[in-house]
Amino acid sequence: METQMKLSEAARSSVTNLSESSFIKACRREQTSVTPVWLMRQAGRFMPEYREIRAKVGFLELCKTPALATEVTVMAQEMLGVDAAIIFADILLPLEPMGMALEFTKGDGPQIHNPIRQASDVDALKNVDAKESLSFVLEAITMTRGALKANIPLIGFAGAPFTLASYMIEGGSSRNFEKTKAFMYTQPQAWHKLMNHLANVTHAYLNCQIEAGAQVVQLFDSWVGALGQSDYKEYVLPHMKAVFAGIKPGVPAIHFGTGTAALLKLMRQAGGTVIGVDWRIDLDKAWSDIGYDIAVQGNLDPCVLFATGKEIRTRVQDILKQAAGREGFIFNLGHGILPGTPVDNVKYLVECVHELGQR
């Protein structure tokens, strides 16, 4: 208890040292002296140090061990020199407390052994008390906030309702989302009940992360690009609005999805302080569509990190040119760092952004 109190004090006191963070300033569209950069999956399989830890513990065990989650989170930020840390966790962690049988299998990724098939399955979902059932994530956030340098913001995150619902219905990954869309179209009442449940769980969970010490939160809607605009409006938009409306006021919230070039304007309507952009659309076009009065994050193709240093530098220059020195730009990849990515290339990317992004 004494240790937790000390860590909580460290989390609170660190907030006062973040006023000059370029990342926080960019989230709020304030002027920065340099373009901030952080990278999705910056703590992951591309790092030898991470693989050494994973050789000893399973993925879920790592997520559920606060000291180890803290170690990999801080290690990645310090090794890469990025302007923010993101807590090591997984978007699917809230599913277990709901009653979903979640397993991470080697090579196949997450598997859910009791997928949702009918309205009664939705009715059977349990409410989630994040402080109790996801306490390991919250403890990791508090520990990490205490271990990070005081001027480095910590990002908390959660999966967006559509992406979580898709996992719950498909039972794992999917290419075409046949089961998800069939459920959505044929059982709309059950669908909206499920999405409402997930929206409530998600914003409550994010608020707990903020209370534990996260300065920024991100919503990952990794699969929402599978939808067209009309389906997004009817089946997703109201629930995303509910999530963002429920997040503690004043805390920057990043809204990210992949394959969303056609959905960016709707995502803007849904909410978020920052809109994350993937690599399938030019940054200047995306920002124009979204509106220059909101911050954006993106959007280098992760595969560029397998190229030469010259190519990496050229691509960074191109994205910065498209950002045109506007306030509110955060450099990131268009999705997460891929396994097998050369560590030196990731470090070089960060160096290029800091060098070329001077203002």
* pLDDT score for 59: 92
Residue type at 157? F
Handedness of CA 192, 131, 39, 358 (dihedral sign): positive
d(CA 236, CA 238): 6
Catalytic residue selected from 28, 54, 268, 326: 54
How many CA atoms within 13 Å lie on the side-chain side of 304? 21
Q: Quote the number of domains for the chain.
A: 1
The answer to whether 12 is a known catalytic residue is no
Catalytic residue selected from 29, 145, 167, 315: 167
Catalytic residue selected from 29, 41, 313, 315: 41
Note the pLDDT tens digit of each residue in 57-84.
Answer: 999 999 999 999 999 999 999 999 999 9
The answer to whether 359 is a known catalytic residue is no
Catalytic residue selected from 45, 268, 280, 326: 45
- With both helix axes pointing from N to C terminus, report the angle between 188-212 and 178-186 in degrees, rounded to the nearest 10: 110
DSSP 86-100: E----TTTTHHHHT-
d(CA 187, CA 167): 17
Question: What would the two tokens of residue 56 be?
Answer: 């000893």
Q: pLDDT tens track of the chain, all 359 residues?
A: 444 444 445 444 455 578 789 999 999 999 999 999 999 999 999 999 999 999 999 999 999 999 999 999 999 999 999 999 999 999 999 999 999 999 988 766 899 999 999 999 999 999 999 999 999 999 999 999 999 999 999 999 999 999 999 999 999 888 899 999 999 999 999 999 999 999 999 999 999 999 999 999 999 999 999 999 999 999 999 999 999 999 999 999 999 999 999 999 999 999 999 999 999 999 999 999 999 999 999 999 999 999 999 999 999 999 999 999 999 999 999 999 999 999 999 999 999 999 999 98
The answer to whether 54 is a known catalytic residue is yes
- Collect all residues with Cβ–Cβ distance below 8 Å to 271 and sequence separation of at least 6: 240, 241, 243, 244, 245, 253, 255
Residues 270, 233 contacting (CB under 8 angstroms):
no
**pTM here?**
0.94
Residues 156, 208 contacting (CB under 8 angstroms):
no
* Nearest by Cα to 96 from 126, 56, 65: 126
> How many other C-beta atoms are found inside a 10 Å radius of the C-beta of residue 277?
27
Q: Using CB atoms within 10 A of its CB, is residue 346 exposed (0-12), middle (13-18) or buried (19+)?
A: buried
Return phi, psi of residue 48, to 5°. -55, -40
The answer to whether 45 is a known catalytic residue is yes
d(CA 144, CA 154): 8
Catalytic residue selected from 90, 284, 301, 318: 90
* Nearest by Cα to 161 from 101, 224, 248, 71: 224
Domain, as residue range, for 222: 2-356
Q: Residue 341 maps to which CATH number?
A: 3.20.20.210
Query: Among all chains, which residue has been given the structure tokens 């373009």?
Result: 35
